[in-house]
Structure 1
Amino acid sequence: MTEPTPPTPGDDGDAQRIIFAITAALLVLVVTYKVGQSDAPVQAPVEVAADAAFSPPAESTIPAGPDGDAIRRGRLIFTASAAHAGQYVGNGLTCSNCHLDAGRKADASPMWAAWVSYPAYRAKNGRVNTMEDRIRDCFLYSMNAPASKAGAPPPFGDDIYRDLQSYFAWLATGAPSGKPLPGRGFIKLATTPIGHDPVRGAIVFAGQCASCHGANGQGQANPDGSYTIPPLWGARSYNWGAGMTGLASAAGFIKANMPYGEGNTLTDQQAWDVAAYVDSRERPRDPRQTGTVESARKQFHPKGDYYGQEIDGKMLGS
């Protein structure tokens, strides 16, 4: 870079000298800034792999104070539902039986992914749902609230919803919103050429699942009535309105997560067949059923599950 030309002597020499000095100083600043820029390391934007799942914060970071208290209460309700929301639980399940690792595990319908996805339209009830709506439905169907002491889910506005939502919001700390997150919900398995079959599924269940869930699928109950391993069908399991009665959801969950701690060890075919076996067993009635099973099937179960079908000489759902 060439130096600036000095001023020509004259009557206004002082003014010119001042202008020259200012110009030189500005040039020094510009050169210094450019050199500083070139010497500084360039930090590339941080990119997350498209298939990388979000990592929720560690439990040790739950804050002190009222907010943290609500988060901790929400986690207790989520992981020990009968102990902390028992009046609204009508079976042997907890929220974390389906939303594994206290709602943290990717591909097990994690709550950090659900939190940033609502409000959202749900075809199941034909309207936009808030997170409170969604939680209420989980009590109604998955926790079989009609068989609970209260006979229904928690009323809207109950502190149970506040505490659970506090926990979900904390799990989603730092999660991007406005787009589906990898690991949300359950994985979607392609259908197989030979379809799904409860008979084949019974064989896989006996070899891979019965050691934990029992040969009769009733899980492992504790003396206090809680369950170490949840029942998969029967009076103490989810009712016919639950999302897990859908074969695609059940197969995706089983493939990615079962046997527990050994997910992705079953083949796709085995996952579909086990789902067919589990979901072709009887369970509590769908709370939406007000008339016949046939009419409820047309309205609420047009495809994708065994509700209203005859298995072993009995119509399921009746």
Structure 2
Amino acid sequence: MPNYASPADTATYGEYTIVREPGDTRPLYRFTGRISADGSTPYPAVADRYHVYSGWFCPWAQRVTLVIELAGLADTVSVSYVDGNRDARGWAFREANGPDPVNGFTLLRQAYDRTEPDFDGHVSVPTLWDRETGKVVSNDFATLDADLASQYDVAAHGGVELYPAALRAQIDELETWLRADVNSTAHVATGDGPGAAEAAETLLKAFTQLDDRLRDSRFLLGDDVTLADVRLFVTLVRYDAAAARTGAPRLAAFGELWRYARDLYAIDAFTKTTDFGSFAGGESVVADWHTSVGATR
């Protein structure tokens, strides 16, 4: 019988919080192991050793699952999904998304406690688990996607070269800008907090710049999908759903950016790893993303 956590219950367990003591300088994403193809780290890029604990709702986690699909690693690195609801116990495995197929854990926290007894940090997705050592390798989304994209023989797996050496400097430069002005700003811009107006101004300026950039380019760096596109898409699709709820400008207000986002979504890996039900309400939003790109150009 599969093991499942009891339903999320904040009345009993409280809300999930990250408790940090004053002066605690440890990183929020504490596990930062790196996969390598050349033996430079303890974690070689081999098949069937690693498992990704993901969450359909999470853009940072979708970056990783998208890379796995696009790079042809679906039979090399396994993936499972936590439930989208949590209480103070953190992310959990429930029937809606299935059990933990590797360890039979009911709570993702158990993986962290197995790695660092009485773990007192942030329990997050994506989490990379190492079957051989029985420990978490990384929960650092900022390096996980790049490692998976570059340390395996993508060509041998029939995958897309998402992080080619010749483009890495440009991909990294785009990440610096997009992380600050888009990926870390979109959820604030569509909220009602004190920083919403300023975040919206920053975000819409970035959208205008992206719209201009894409007038003469199918994707961010030419005609081929790269890691830069993966990293931008996961925020765009969630922003558009939030904008539909809040009345913020939809992506359709930016013609080339909207064309670009739907062009990506039409690729099987993007469709397969996007679960609108985990972050978007309303069938109209989903229908918009299925509109033919050519119909509005």
TM-score, normalisation: structure 2:
0.30
* Bigger radius of gyration: 1
TM-score, normalisation: structure 1:
0.29
